[in-house]
Structure 1
Amino acid sequence: MAGSARVDQHREGDVLIVTMVNPPVNTLGRPLRRDLLAALENAEADPTIKAVVVTGRGNFSAGADLAEFDSGEGLAEPTLHLTIAGYLDSMKTPTIAAITGVALGGGLELALACSARIAERDSRLGLPETTLGFMPGAGGTQRLPRAIGIEAALDLIMTGRSVDGSQALSMGLVDAIDSDVIAAAIAMAARLAASASASANANAKPRLRDDAVEEPLAEALVEAARRSAARNPRVNAGVLDALAALSAAVTLPFDKGLAREFELFRSLALQPEARAARYRFLSERAAGRVPTPDESTTPVSRAAVVGAGTMGRGITLALLGAGVVTTIIDTDLERVDSAVAAIAAELERSVSKGRLSGRQRDEQLASLTGVVGLDGAADVDAVIEAVFEDLQVKIDVFAQLDSIARPGTILASNTSSLDLNLIAGATKRPESVVGMHFFSPANIMKLVEVVNGAHTAPATLASTVALAKRMKKIPVVAEVGPGFIGNRIFDQYLRQANSLVLEGLEPSRVDRVLEAWGMAMGPFRVLDVIGNDVPWMARRAAPGAKDPAWAIADAVAERGWFGRKSGIGWYRYAADGSSSPNSEVGSLYSPGRGDRAIDDAEIVERCVLAMVREAADVLEAAIAASSADVDTVMVNGYGFPARHGGPWFFASDLGFDRANRAMVKWARVTSDPFWEPSTFLRSREDRPTP
């Protein structure tokens, strides 16, 4: 019994083993759904088959193929929610889900429709849909509370978190755990088949659909969760709809609850926020593509971080968390000791918050060494430089590393905007030099821009991307150019905000409007956090004439108003951390005295479309490989609101023709040459949305 291309079938006596084969994670795309249903129908029609074990090769299933929902295939027959799960409910032949790897989303919903479930101890089970702007739509909100109770179901669905096999067993999500789930499932299948034979009509183990949610406080718990979610302005899309479906599980018969779940699911699938969430998920999964994907990678077991400041400490923590033996290096023993102590304290905080075990803390501390001098980088697989953002300083460091590091060592610079090719030129091995632009705090922020220099070897690039993924980062490959992807685009956002102040708007109003729109932090608050001196010095060092758009920002920095670190910037900062607008900034311009009224919509449109306009140039110059990479960078590194998908997705959703007309208008109104039409953007007008 060979099966089909996506489903393998073989018999163990009178038990049929149905194995899903759709690598890498057995997403339930339409071809797999079709073959799975055919296998189940054939098994039910064969009287010699007494039970069926459903499993997956490598992984059980990571759920739906999200790309299908925007093509229409996701809800095409045979559907998971009704046809396949419904058929499993109707089968007289017992079915056992043998869970290896992950059973997430639709994968877990498929398992819940089976008669029983067995999982490996370290498998992962969950319904993460709400973290993707979605909700369970194949019976998850109806079967899960029947399996584990309403309170536990609320937790898993609202948070989207997953549990391992042991936790799943303790809460009743699976019936058993075993290191050999296939053998255990066959044994359980034999018992269920024997019970079914003795029963008047089939399946001796009731399906979850046959149970009811009869907890006395179930309705009250769902209502309390709904009220709490409704008060949260940043609640994930899908949570409220999922709660409405859970309410139906508590108050309606199974079939009506299932119909209500699907009604909510289908409506949500069409919402812009859900589309943006699916797009982000697929974009992040695709991030880190390299020009030569088959290039072999060099594993990194030992690394050195040069620079014991805030960034260096964060990078060190991320490396330790990835199991890399790490040496942190500086020129001063006091700075080294301070960094090691700070890293130890952060690990201790992680233990106290339950993010690390005591054993994991001890293992990471044992893997950490602090030394003075670059000789500490002599015997490592990778060096990550995180010194002050000064070209000459970095060139000097790399020139020294060139004579110290062994051949083949990855030499990575954390530069955020400097010319990586000039840094690589300080060495006799530019093929080993690559950029790794982390975002602060580096142990928490997920994004890393991996910068491909003019002479970076494909193996170096591939190995660096692999290291970033091992550090649980989202790596996006960028080519060399001023500011790479993110800083270059974000700089135009900040510039446009400064232009609005020049036209008479108060900085705090610009911040309030953009934060209300969804930006994580307003542009002037961002500048105060970065330090107003940092971009000011960069502008002073840049060749060419001064850009008048930065006149007020330059005046702020010239007065020593550097932001949080100086206690005053665009805002004033009190000892308790509170802030208030710096009224003295008003003396540098004429608040409210612009030539025309500017409404909130204009603030948003100009600042957001400034990012779109610059993104077009980044894409046209091939600094970023794709618009999805641009959006991944801006959402994960610069606080662009996730619900809008990213600047390019936003423009696509708005319509490129409409975006281009707005830019023509702002070119006319502001006389700013930045808004001159982009041929690249105009070429997108007739193309489909991402």
Structure 2
Amino acid sequence: MASEASASVVQLQTQDGVLVVTIANPPVNALGAAVRQGLLAAMQEAESRADVQAVLIVGAGKAFIGGADIREFGKPRVPPSLPEVCERIESSAKIVIAAIHGAALGGGLEVALSAHYRLALPAALLGLPEVNLGLLPGSGGTQRAPRLMGVKAATEMMLSGKHLSAKAALAAGLVDQLAEGTDPVAAGLAYTKQLLASQAPTRPISASAGRLADKAAAHAGLEALRAATTKSARGLFSPMKIIDCVNAAIDLPFDQGMAFEREQFLACVDSPQRAGLVHAFFAEREVVKIPEAKAAAPRAFASIAVIGGGTMGAGITVSVLDAGLPVTMIERDAESIARGRAHVEKVYDGLIAKGRLSAEAKAAIMARYTGSIHYDDIAGADLVIEAVFEDLEVKKAVFKELDRVCKPGAVVATNTSYLDIDAIAAATSRPQDVIGLHFFSPANIMKLLEIVVPSQVSADVVATAFELAKKLKKVPVRAGVCDGFIGNRILAVYKQAADYLMEDGASPYEIDAAVRDFGFAMGPFQVTDLAGGDIGWATRKRRAATRDPQARYVEIADRICENGWFGQKTGRGFYLYPQGARIGQPDPEVLAIVDAERAKKGVTPRAFSGEEIMRRYMAAMVNEGAKVVEEGIALRPLDVDVTFISGYGFPRFRGGPMKYADMVGLPKILADIQEFAKEDALFWKPAPLLQKLVAEGRNFDSLNQASAQA
């Protein structure tokens, strides 16, 4: 008999000889232990009852089954396992139909694949996205999906983690029929009656090779995917395991393929990559839990203004237009507004060229765009985002003008990377309405939005900024005011560590290669060239007066900038970019500058292995991250992790710098910092928080847990 818990989350009802099995485990009907037990009990009941001719599985609410309950990962497994449940569904002597509306993802789709027939309603979303958590489908997905869809379509779905719509799923062979409407029970019963009337047989996927019947063609398709994945996965564990499992589906009998899949799934569960990816998944959900959201509701906003039509202003404008909101862009003259509009249109024209947008859709979007050279035209705007030149006096002048024209209660935001937002707010008579929104370039693509909270801002303005981030589909992180906030402040420090490594003997190209091997898409010197070396140069000049005269300062980047080599935009920086190439080539003249600077400082260069480079690079990142948490610039270590995963290319499978430190062990990180301090005690000064956690035998995650319970 089903337990009380399983009976409440899996409800049974008989209609005209059909046992309707409804999964009711809000919010997404996740496959926790009680749901698995309830499904198994439902199949036992169907088999034992002569009046039941068929079984219809549906989900209550907005989803079929959203996937496994990932809160169970890492805990002792409670029987039955999902493969056992799926096997019991598939082996039923009575036909089993899955009526899918909303999400059927991961284990949810594996349950549907175990049914003999699948019906999809218009809102259905089907997918096997386990790869995003460092896993693979572990309940027959790698064995059943290729039989239905063929190797290429099934493997690409699993490797990308992308979802298929109902129509796409039908075209791929993943479902048998589409139905109209929103009621899965009504649609499912109608379909089941058709099947019973035609005496449709049970149809276990495992009983047939399906689209894997032509083994040679299946292998050829898989080998092409293996070659592409070896390049694109760059050290990731689960994508190659998925390929191996599909290979088993082609070569092995179904039962042996299932056993192989289970082994690979458990290997993924035990992998540190899985721990990093699951941490990233939960951290992105925790990051929106901020004190201000508990204290106040967001202000309503229906119209947005953007000040500035350069690259950043245009990117922000596109983001807002994509969210369905009207935007007024302000520039200083007609020529600048024309340029700003052209920047915006260029994004949409690019989408039209790729076939991802129609000219009519672009026209509808641009109908919400207004350009103006008059500040008075934004007097009615609910929320204003300033994105002008990164200069404090320029921004203060803009904010004085905004203070004059904006209606009472309008939220006024500055997009700054470094500047003091308290000083910008002080230029107005309404500091309670002023907040920082640090977008990352290109703003319409990059996910991270640092929401910078100055001292006088009111709680509802902070809540409004988080609501805006949600509308723009950004990942928001709350940051305090300091030079560089969370991301750029930490970046400045590990970039210094990279500069020291370069002056001490590692070439910029060796450093970039080590950082790429670690899992970043680009190394620090490639990033400098992409962003423009002149930006960092301007920051260094701005900070020169306040720089500690005792601190070590590497001048190599300044020498490169003095030559007018600012990176990709000038055709050379740390790398050469012949004929506008995007991928740089090493430059012997840069190495000569490096050698000359070493000689000038009396440095005898020494060799560094990739592992030694990363020890220093990561120790600098983690140490500054600990200081940022300790000072309250970041609320929790997980806020640092999300910042770096979403905005700085940190490899997601490592969970972020603070999670990485936990996995390596904080005593090891602290020991490295203490060792490096023998060379430079000023730079390698251990964060007191790091020392405290090591002394207490705790890790960074203990601070995340403490804030979750607060």
Same fold at TM > 0.5: yes
- Match of residue 191 from structure 2: 188
Matched position secondary structure for 2:650: coil
1:22 corresponding residue in structure 2: 25
Any idea what SS the aligned residue of 1:615 has?
helix
Q: Corresponding residue for 1:199?
A: none
- Paired AA for residue 277 in structure 1: L
Could you tell me how far 1:292 is from its partner in structure 2?
Answer: 4.2
| Residue matched to 2:475 | 474
C-alpha distance in structure 2 between counterparts of 1:424 and 1:487, whole Å: 21
Paired with 2:425 and 2:536, the residues of 1 have a C-alpha distance of 24
SS class of match (2:477): strand
Matched, 1:687 2:693: no
SS, match of residue 550 in structure 1:
coil
Q: Structure 2 residue aligned with 1:215, among 205, 213, 216? A: 213
AA of the residue aligned to 1:28? L
Q: For residues 598 and 251 of structure 1, do their structure 2 counterparts lie closer, same or farther at Cα, with a shift above 3 Å needed?
A: closer
- Distance in structure 1 (CA, Å) of the matches to 2:29 and 2:300: 27
Amino acid at match of 1:396: A
| C-alpha contact (below 8 Å) 1:52/1:94 kept by paired residues | yes
SS of corresponding position for 1:451? strand
**CA offsets, 1:420-471, max 9 Å, x none?**
2222222233332222111111111111111222233332222221221222
8 A Cα contact 2:234 2:519, kept in partner: no
Which residue in 1 is equivalent to 2:89? 88
* Between 415-424 and 15-24, the greater mean CA deviation after superposition: 15-24
Structure 2: give runs of 5+ residues left out of the alignment: 702-710
Aligned-pair CA distance for 1:570? 3.4
Residues 1:580 and 2:592 aligned together: no
Relative to structure 1, the CA distance from residue 525 to residue 252 in structure 2 (aligned partners, 3 Å threshold; closer, same or farther) is closer
* Alignment CA distance shift 1:133-1:385 (3 Å): same
How big is each residue's C-alpha offset from its partner over 1:561-582, in whole Å with a ceiling of 9 and x where there is no partner? 4512455543454443354332
Q: Shift in Å at residue 137 of structure 1?
A: 1.0
Give me the whole-angstrom Cα distance separating, in 2, the residues matched to 1:156 and 1:569: 39
The residue identity in structure 1 corresponding to 2:80 is P
Indicate whether 1:263 and 2:272 are aligned: no
Moved more, 112-121 or 230-239: 230-239
Asked if 1:426 is matched to 2:427, the reply is: yes
1:612-665 CA distance string (max 9 Å, x none): 000001111222122222111112211222332221121111111111111111
1:521 is aligned to 522
Distance across 1 between alignment mates of 2:12 and 2:440: 48
- Kindly tell me: are residues 226 and 596 of structure 1, through their superposed partners in 2, closer, same or farther at Cα, counting changes over 3 Å? closer
The letter of the residue matching 2:473 is: K
Aligned length: 680
1:231 CA displacement: 4.4
Q: Give the conservation status (yes or no) of the 8 Å contact 2:311–2:343.
A: no
- Residue type matched to 1:580 in 2? P
Show the counterpart of 1:79.
Answer: 81
Please tell me whether the aligned partners of residues 58 and 184 of structure 2 are also in contact (alpha carbons under 8 angstroms): no
C-alpha separation between the residues in 1 aligned to 2:408 and 2:44? 60
Residues 170 and 595 (structure 1 numbering): CA distance in 2 closer, same or farther, change over 3 Å?
Answer: closer
C-alpha distance after superposition, 1:375-417 (max 9, x if no partner) = 2322222211111111222222122212212233222211112
Partner AA of 1:259 in structure 2: A
How many angstroms apart in 2 are the aligned matches of 1:185 and 1:42? 19
Q: Tell me which residue corresponds to 2:63.
A: 59
Distance 2:610 2:398 in 1: 47
Counterpart residue type for residue 651 of structure 2: P
User: Which position in structure 2 is the counterpart of 1:278?
Assistant: 278
> What fraction of aligned residue pairs are identical, expressed as a percent?
37
Separation in structure 2 between the aligned mates of residue 505 and residue 122 of structure 1, nearest angstrom? 54
Superposed, 1:477-556 pairs within 5 Å as 477-542=478-543, 543=546, 545-546=548-549, 548-553=551-556, 555-556=558-559
Q: Deviations over 1:161-213 (max 9, x none)?
A: 211111112222112222133211012233445566xxxxxx82312222223
Task: Write the letter of the residue equivalent to 1:79.
Answer: S
> What does residue 619 of structure 1 align with?
629
Name 1:200's counterpart in structure 2: none
Q: Secondary structure at the match of 1:549?
A: coil
Aligned to 1:563: 566
Structure 1 window deviating more from structure 2 (588-597 vs 418-427): it is: 588-597
Counterpart secondary structure, 2:614:
helix
2:413 match: secondary structure: strand
Q: 1:205 aligns with which of 195, 202, 206?
A: 202
The code of the aligned residue for 1:537 comes to A
Residue number in structure 2 paired with 1:608: 618
TM-score (norm 2): 0.89
Deviations 1:249-281 (A, max 9, x none): 122222111111111111122122232222222
Asked if the contact 1:480–1:623 (Cα under 8 Å) also holds between the matched residues in 2, the reply is yes
- Secondary structure (helix, strand or coil) at the match of 1:684 reads helix
Stretches of structure 1 lacking an aligned partner (at least 5 in a row): 197-202
Q: How does 1:646-657 map to 2 (within 5 A)?
A: 646-657=656-667
Contact 1:17 1:52 in 2 (8 A): yes
Residues 468 and 474, structure 1, Cα contact 8 Å, conserved in 2? yes
Following TM superposition, by how much is the alpha carbon of 1:689 offset from its aligned partner in structure 2, in angstroms? 7.8
Alignment of 1:29-48 (within 5 A): 29-48=32-51
Amino acid in the other structure paired with 1:59: A
Taking the aligned partners of 1:509 and 1:672, their CA distance within structure 2 comes to: 25
Q: What does residue 652 of structure 2 align with?
A: 642
Q: In structure 2, what is the Cα distance between the partners aligned to 1:474 and 1:556? A: 37
Alignment deviations for residues 488-521 of structure 1 (CA, whole Å, 9 cap, x no partner) = 1111111111222333443333223323333332
How far apart are the structure 1 equivalents of 2:433 and 2:18?
55
Closer, same or farther: CA 230–183 of 1 in aligned 2, 3 Å: same
Distance 2:358 2:299 in 1: 29
Shift of 1:346: 1.7
Summarize the Cα distance change of 1:688–1:186 in structure 2 as closer, same or farther, 3 Å threshold: farther
Following the alignment from structure 1 to structure 2, what is the Cα–Cα distance between the partners of residues 457 and 61? Answer: 40
Q: TM-score of the superposition, structure 1-length normalised? A: 0.92
Is the Cα contact below 8 Å between 2:559 and 2:593 reproduced in 1?
A: no
User: What residue number does 1:332 align with?
Assistant: 333
Closer, same or farther: CA 335–35 of 1 in aligned 2, 3 Å: same
- 2:521 aligns to what SS in structure 1? coil
Deviates more, 1:57-66 or 1:526-535: 526-535
Rounded to whole Å, the distance in 1 between the matches of 2:501 and 2:40 is 59
